[in-house]
Amino acid sequence: MMNLLTTSELSVTEIYDILAEAKKFSEGAAWQPNQSSFVANLFFEPSTRTKCSFEIAERRLGLNIIPFETHSSSITKGETLYDTVRTLESIGVQAVVIRHTEDEYFKQLVGKTNVKIINAGDGCGHHPTQSLLDLLTIYEEFEHFQGLKVGIVGDLIHSRVARSNAVALHRLGAEIVFSGPKEWIDQELLQYGRYEDIDTLTETVDVLMLLRIQHERHQVGGKTVDYHQAFGLTVEREKRMKKGSIIMHPAPVNRDVEIADSLVECERSRIFKQMENGVYVRMAVLKRALQQSEGGKNNDNSHQKWSMAY
Amino acid sequence: MMNLLTTSELSVTEIYDILAEAKKFSEGAAWQPNQSSFVANLFFEPSTRTKCSFEIAERRLGLNIIPFETHSSSITKGETLYDTVRTLESIGVQAVVIRHTEDEYFKQLVGKTNVKIINAGDGCGHHPTQSLLDLLTIYEEFEHFQGLKVGIVGDLIHSRVARSNAVALHRLGAEIVFSGPKEWIDQELLQYGRYEDIDTLTETVDVLMLLRIQHERHQVGGKTVDYHQAFGLTVEREKRMKKGSIIMHPAPVNRDVEIADSLVECERSRIFKQMENGVYVRMAVLKRALQQSEGGKNNDNSHQKWSMAY
Amino acid sequence: MMNLLTTSELSVTEIYDILAEAKKFSEGAAWQPNQSSFVANLFFEPSTRTKCSFEIAERRLGLNIIPFETHSSSITKGETLYDTVRTLESIGVQAVVIRHTEDEYFKQLVGKTNVKIINAGDGCGHHPTQSLLDLLTIYEEFEHFQGLKVGIVGDLIHSRVARSNAVALHRLGAEIVFSGPKEWIDQELLQYGRYEDIDTLTETVDVLMLLRIQHERHQVGGKTVDYHQAFGLTVEREKRMKKGSIIMHPAPVNRDVEIADSLVECERSRIFKQMENGVYVRMAVLKRALQQSEGGKNNDNSHQKWSMAY
């Protein structure tokens, strides 16, 4: 079972294994499955960035990608996700990458199909490859997590990534602090770290993780506040950041909202580096899924007369 | 001319040839065209299942697939289907797989282009690869058609597959019986087989072909009837089926309508096997089209100075 | 810098170089980049014909194509085109083919990214690969441009191709004449050639370039005129054309409007030949972009710790 469903199901050892594998891919390592392998990317919610990144990772591994257009699929005729995935399995697909609006959609699939499931985002829940690429970006910079101070700023309520990252970084020994409008931070998150004002936070963190927000202006205590001045990374705040500290953002960036336009590609910024790392992490995750698959092949149609024999 | 337009244009020998070729692919045979070949899948009506199956078949044969988005094509600017296909021919496409809402759309193409046409469904008319995959599923089970009793149940009026299957199985020597609401069966179909009540039919057939229906509830003699109880394969009916008999359905399945949820993957069910066989049949049909093409190449642009020379 | 943005930025030598390269591809030449290369086709305006042609060209060169669905991209979340292209660069894309509704959209990209930009049409401005395929079609026919008489007929106001072609052919030494409704020809165009009545023009040109029009009927001096009779290539006009002269049209054709139905594939017609040539020209343009790229690689993420190392 080498699905990838959530970051929390991964042991610390498994996280380090995936990061090590991804690092090897970043250094030019190559890997291809023993036999011609087919994958399908099922994006029931649009996300060009994540989808393109998976597509590149899949091609670098020499996989065959079956285009799957969710808007014209039988799902629109009422077919269950399970039947769709079983259909893909029947025609020879070994792994599916799924993004779906439903929280934990994968629970209806796990244990009932031999197709490997890679979660590319579910509802407001999990987005494990985004977390892993963030971890890789931090790890390649500092070569450890223990004791690093990581600040996460912005719309923490709606960010699936922020939650996963906070939990994973806490398990890996980092110190977490949050900032942004207080109404966007809930009690559950405060288990993993404390709230800090934005100026103290930016001056003291090793890693500043900015989150995308939906609206530039919002209400605080009955008056409208400009997000950039209140909680964004302004040119002034960046100047007071610690030596060696880095800036991260999951993108797409709202320039001059979460971060000043001129800082998006500044020396501290790892924003485009994160995207590059996304490809390596997805290669590692796909290798992990398909490698397992090679050993443990178990065709569900096997009680039927002929078996898939390529 | 190795187009595939309808099942009825195929001789019995040709049907057996395609099934034999498909069987070889199911056993691991490989085939690739002599030269780099390009195909395009033109789906003017959505059908993810059929399209994915063709895509897998095409890739297993090493073909290059040109993505063609019908919703943004020049067809929306009033271009004829003929001009679209000639355009694809000009840029180097050797075969097109077409699904179109118009009955016998292929009549405007045949004999006017060197591109091979593979019909993936026209209007309410034909869907030859679906018929062939059904035939393959039956043939691999029984190794003959002569004297087999095949029951076809459901929305026979609207099913292009049911018609093609009834005709083909009749030609191949099977005995056909129909069931379901009587208003869904027309006189034309009764040339090929008789009507039987659903209980007699399920107890006596070798092959039970269920058809997808549009509505769970419908009117019979002025009162609303539950389809599943009246004509569906209930758990009780399945228990009385003959030893060795099999269940088929073109999918997507309406669980607990045409067939009880728990029977979709029961031992008699060949529903996912049919999908697997779809890939082998499409490989056979594509090989048949492109093999011919290699020998009989005749470039329509040949009166013009330069010819396509790859 | 081996982008392709407009025809006018190309020197006459560069035009001949591209045509010579395209001619070699038409004669069966092969070329592949030294390393695995990734391209993305960003079509913000639909154009199946141009997109399919680029896709075929890309595959013939062995490039990996990353599907990019503009309708579901982050652009719809307000991301700038620059950030989208930088993202694609970060994940390993070497060249992008862009069609965009905005005039000269490429100005926001040039000099700020190492990704090669190939313009597949901007606003009402430029469409250089269409111009180049027209030039190739003329050149393969006559083997020179100097002194050729080229007639361009139809909706010159709205045709990006007509403008580019007029300018390029003028620079290459051809004599240009225009015809069609006078309100569709502006002063700027008349720098490059004169207006001629349709009958004189069709009888004297070596090359007749017909443009697609939007409406069959339009008003001239307060009364409705049938375009085909007034300015179209009727069967009668074609009979009076010069020996050896050819007919071109960028397609899709409105049959019996710009050209009589029976003439679309007549002996003089190079309409489908133009489409074939489009593939060769795009191969030449992609080779030009990626060849340069191999020598001058300069990774924008290079100040960051790890570099893309495939």
C106-114 contact pairs (CB < 8 A, 24+): C106/C3, C106/C5, C108/C80, C108/C81, C108/C82, C109/C81, C109/C82, C109/C85, C110/C1, C110/C3, C110/C5, C112/C82, C113/C82, C113/C85, C113/C86, C113/C89, C113/C300, C114/C89, C114/C293, C114/C297, C114/C298, C114/C299, C114/C300
Calpha distance C23→B156 (Å, rounded)? 55
Nearest to A83 among B51, B252, B273 (CB): B252
Is the Cβ of A299 closer than 8 Å to some Cβ of chain B? no
pLDDT of residue C185: 86
Is the Cβ of C92 closer than 8 Å to some Cβ of chain A? yes
Instruction: Using the predicted structure, report yes or no on whether residue A220 has a pLDDT greater than 80.
Output: no
- Chain B residues close to C273, C-beta within 8 Å: 90, 301, 304, 306
* Banded model confidence at residue A75, pLDDT cuts 50, 70, 90: low
* Banded model confidence at residue A105, pLDDT cuts 50, 70, 90: very high
Q: Has C49 been labeled as part of a binding site? A: yes
pLDDT of residue A158: 80
Q: What is the mean pLDDT of the segment spanning A106-116?
A: 95
* Banded model confidence at residue B1, pLDDT cuts 50, 70, 90: low
Query: Directed axis angle between helix C271-295 and helix C128-142, to 10°?
Result: 120
Instruction: Name the residue with higher pLDDT: B3 or C69.
Output: B3
Residues B266 and B151 reside in one and the same domain? yes
Q: Are strands B223-226 and B217-220 parallel, antiparallel or unpaired?
A: antiparallel
Instruction: Using the predicted structure, report yes or no on whether residue A217 has a pLDDT greater than 70.
Output: no
Of A142-146, A162-166, B73-77, C254-258, which gets the smallest average pLDDT?
A: B73-77
Q: What is the mean pLDDT of the segment spanning B125-143?
A: 95
Cβ contact, residue pair B80, C55, below 8 Å? no
Cβ pairs A/C, distance under 8 A = 87
Q: What is the mean pLDDT of the segment spanning B130-138?
A: 97
Cβ contact, residue pair B56, A92, below 8 Å? yes
Q: Which tens digits make up the pLDDT trace of C243-261?
A: 999 999 998 899 999 999 9
pLDDT of residue A299: 42
For chain A, the 3-state helix, strand and coil shares in percent, each to the nearest 5, are 40, 20, 40
Residues A203 and A288 reside in one and the same domain? no
Q: How far is A7 from chain C (nearest CA, A)?
A: 22
Q: Has C168 been labeled as part of a binding site? A: no
Q: Which tens digits make up the pLDDT trace of B78-120?
A: 788 999 999 999 999 999 999 999 999 999 999 999 999 999 9
pLDDT of residue A79: 81
- Asked if residues A270 and A141 have their Cβ atoms less than 8 Å apart, the reply is yes
Tell me, yes or no, whether A310 lies in a domain. no
Tell me, yes or no, whether A308 lies in a domain. no
Residues B99 and B36 reside in one and the same domain? yes
Residues B36 and B111 reside in one and the same domain? yes
Q: Has B99 been labeled as part of a binding site? A: yes
Q: Which residues, 6 or more positions from B20, have their beta carbon under 8 angstroms from its beta carbon?
A: none
Is the Cβ of B3 closer than 8 Å to some Cβ of chain A? no
Helix (H, G, I), strand (E, B) or coil at A285: helix
Instruction: Using the predicted structure, report yes or no on whether residue C293 has a pLDDT greater than 60.
Output: no
Is the Cβ of A115 closer than 8 Å to some Cβ of chain B? no
Instruction: Using the predicted structure, report yes or no on whether residue B225 has a pLDDT greater than 80.
Output: no
Of A204-213, A265-274, B203-212, C38-47, which gets the smallest average pLDDT?
A: C38-47
pLDDT of residue A216: 61
Q: How far is A52 from chain C (nearest CA, A)?
A: 6
Calpha distance C210→C231 (Å, rounded)? 10
Q: What is the mean pLDDT of the segment spanning C68-81?
A: 73
Nearest to C86 among A43, A59, A272 (CB): A272
Q: Has B212 been labeled as part of a binding site? A: yes
Cβ contact, residue pair B66, C60, below 8 Å? no
Minimum CA–CA partner of A266 in chain C: C303
User: What value does the CA radius of gyration of chain C take, rounded to a whole number of Å?
Assistant: 21
- Asked if residues B18 and B281 have their Cβ atoms less than 8 Å apart, the reply is yes
Mutate to test the interface with A, among B41, B52, B283 (most CBs of A within 10 A): B52
* Other C-beta atoms lying within 10 Å of the C-beta of residue A242: 14
* Banded model confidence at residue B74, pLDDT cuts 50, 70, 90: low
Cβ contact, residue pair B272, A79, below 8 Å? no
pLDDT of residue A35: 87
Q: Which residues, 6 or more positions from B162, have their beta carbon under 8 angstroms from its beta carbon?
A: B152, B154, B155, B156, B189, B209, B211
Tell me, yes or no, whether A65 lies in a domain. yes
Minimum CA–CA partner of B309 in chain C: C28
Calpha distance A22→B97 (Å, rounded)? 39
Tell me, yes or no, whether B221 lies in a domain. yes
* Banded model confidence at residue A162, pLDDT cuts 50, 70, 90: confident
Instruction: Using the predicted structure, report yes or no on whether residue C141 has a pLDDT greater than 90.
Output: yes
Nearest to A92 among B27, B255, B279 (CB): B279
Residues C147 and C55 reside in one and the same domain? no
- Chain B residues close to A301, C-beta within 8 Å: 272-273, 276
Nearest to A252 among C79, C92, C93 (CB): C79
Residues B110 and B178 reside in one and the same domain? no
Nearest to C304 among A251, A253, A273 (CB): A273
Tell me, yes or no, whether A305 lies in a domain. no
Highest mean pLDDT among B110-119, B159-168, C209-218: B110-119
Q: What is the mean pLDDT of the segment spanning C227-235?
A: 95
Nearest to C267 among B76, B303, B308 (CB): B303
Cβ contact, residue pair B72, C46, below 8 Å? yes
Assign residue A108 the CATH number of its domain.
Answer: 3.40.50.1370
Q: Has A158 been labeled as part of a binding site? A: no
- Chain B residues close to A310, C-beta within 8 Å: 28, 60
Q: How far is C175 from chain A (nearest CA, A)?
A: 47
- Chain A residues close to B43, C-beta within 8 Å: 72
Q: How far is B300 from chain C (nearest CA, A)?
A: 9
pLDDT of residue C303: 40
Q: Are strands A217-220 and A207-210 parallel, antiparallel or unpaired?
A: unpaired
Per DSSP (E only), the strands in chain B are 38-43, 64-66, 95-100, 116-122, 149-153, 175-179, 193-195, 207-210, 217-220, 223-226, 246-248
Residues A123 and A134 reside in one and the same domain? no
Domain that holds residue B217: 128-271
Candidates B114, B35, B31; CA nearest to C30 is B35
- Chain A residues close to C38, C-beta within 8 Å: 56, 59
Is the Cβ of B272 closer than 8 Å to some Cβ of chain A? yes
Cβ contact, residue pair C254, B78, below 8 Å? yes
Calpha distance A293→B100 (Å, rounded)? 38
Cβ contact, residue pair A26, C309, below 8 Å? yes
Instruction: Using the predicted structure, report yes or no on whether residue B296 has a pLDDT greater than 60.
Output: no
- Burial annotation B82-119 (CB, 10 A radius, 16+ → b, else e): ebbbbbbbbbbbbbbbbbbeeeebbeebeeebebbbbb
Tell me, yes or no, whether B3 lies in a domain. no
Residues B205 and B79 reside in one and the same domain? no
The DSSP-derived string for chain C is ---B--STTS-HHHHHHHHHHHHHHHTT-----SS--EEEEEESS--HHHHHHHHHHHHHTT-EEE---GGGSGGGGT--HHHHHHHHHHTT--EEEEEESSTTGGGGTTTS-SSEEEEEEETTTB-HHHHHHHHHHHHHHHS--TT-EEEEES-TTT-HHHHHHHHHHHHTT-EEEEES-GGG--TTGGGTEEE--HHHHHHH-SEEEE---S-SEEEETTEEEEHHHHHSB-HHHHHTSPTT-EEE--S---BTTTB-GGGTTSTTB-HHHHHHHHHHHHHHHHHHHHHHHHHT---GGGGSSS----
- Chain B residues close to A306, C-beta within 8 Å: 23, 26-27, 140, 273
Cβ contact, residue pair C305, A140, below 8 Å? yes
Residues A171 and A262 reside in one and the same domain? yes
Q: What percent of chain C has pLDDT over 70?
A: 88
Q: Has A217 been labeled as part of a binding site? A: no
Q: Which amino acid is at B142?
A: F
Candidates B291, B309, B290; CA nearest to B299 is B309
Beta bridge partners of C149: C175
* Banded model confidence at residue A185, pLDDT cuts 50, 70, 90: confident
Q: How far is B262 from chain C (nearest CA, A)?
A: 38
Cβ contact, residue pair A38, B59, below 8 Å? yes
Minimum CA–CA partner of B86 in chain C: C272
Cβ contact, residue pair A267, C303, below 8 Å? yes
Candidates C98, C93, C30, C34; CA nearest to C61 is C30
- Chain A residues close to C64, C-beta within 8 Å: 56, 59
Q: What is the mean pLDDT of the segment spanning B230-240?
A: 97
Residues C137 and C263 reside in one and the same domain? yes
Beta bridge partners of B152: B178, B209
Residues C261 and C136 reside in one and the same domain? yes
Minimum CA–CA partner of A55 in chain C: C66
- Report how many domains make up chain B: 2
Tell me, yes or no, whether B309 lies in a domain. no
Residues C133 and C265 reside in one and the same domain? yes
User: Rounded to an integer, what is the distance from CA A274 to the centroid of its chain?
Assistant: 10
Minimum CA–CA partner of A300 in chain B: B272
Cβ contact, residue pair C40, A55, below 8 Å? no
pLDDT of residue C220: 63
Q: Has B127 been labeled as part of a binding site? A: yes
Instruction: Name the residue with higher pLDDT: A124 or B152.
Output: B152
Residue that terminates a domain, selected from B271, B286, B303: B271
Instruction: Using the predicted structure, report yes or no on whether residue A226 has a pLDDT greater than 80.
Output: yes
Instruction: Using the predicted structure, report yes or no on whether residue C222 has a pLDDT greater than 70.
Output: no
Is the Cβ of B270 closer than 8 Å to some Cβ of chain A? yes
Instruction: Using the predicted structure, report yes or no on whether residue B310 has a pLDDT greater than 80.
Output: no
Q: What is the mean pLDDT of the segment spanning A75-104?
A: 90
Q: Has C249 been labeled as part of a binding site? A: no
pLDDT of residue A261: 95
For chain B, the 3-state helix, strand and coil shares in percent, each to the nearest 5, are 40, 20, 40
Candidates A39, A4, A25, A60; CA nearest to A277 is A25
Q: What is the ipTM of this complex?
A: 0.85
Q: What percent of chain A has pLDDT over 90?
A: 72
Of A209-218, A289-298, B55-64, B138-147, which gets the smallest average pLDDT?
A: A289-298
The DSSP-derived string for A119-184 is EEEETTTB-HHHHHHHHHHHHHHHS--TT-EEEEES-TTT-HHHHHHHHHHHHTT-EEEEES-GGG
Mutate to test the interface with C, among B91, B93, B305, B308 (most CBs of C within 10 A): B91
Cβ contact, residue pair C78, A252, below 8 Å? yes
Calpha distance B93→A167 (Å, rounded)? 52
Instruction: Using the predicted structure, report yes or no on whether residue C180 has a pLDDT greater than 80.
Output: yes
Cβ pairs B/C, distance under 8 A = 88
Q: What is the mean pLDDT of the segment spanning B215-242?
A: 84
Q: How far is A69 from chain B (nearest CA, A)?
A: 7
Mean pLDDT of chain C: 89
Q: Are strands A175-179 and A149-153 parallel, antiparallel or unpaired?
A: parallel
pLDDT of residue B297: 44
Which chains does B contact via 3+ CB–CB distances below 8 A?
A: A, C
Cβ contact, residue pair A74, B270, below 8 Å? no
Tell me, yes or no, whether C205 lies in a domain. yes
Is the Cβ of B48 closer than 8 Å to some Cβ of chain A? yes
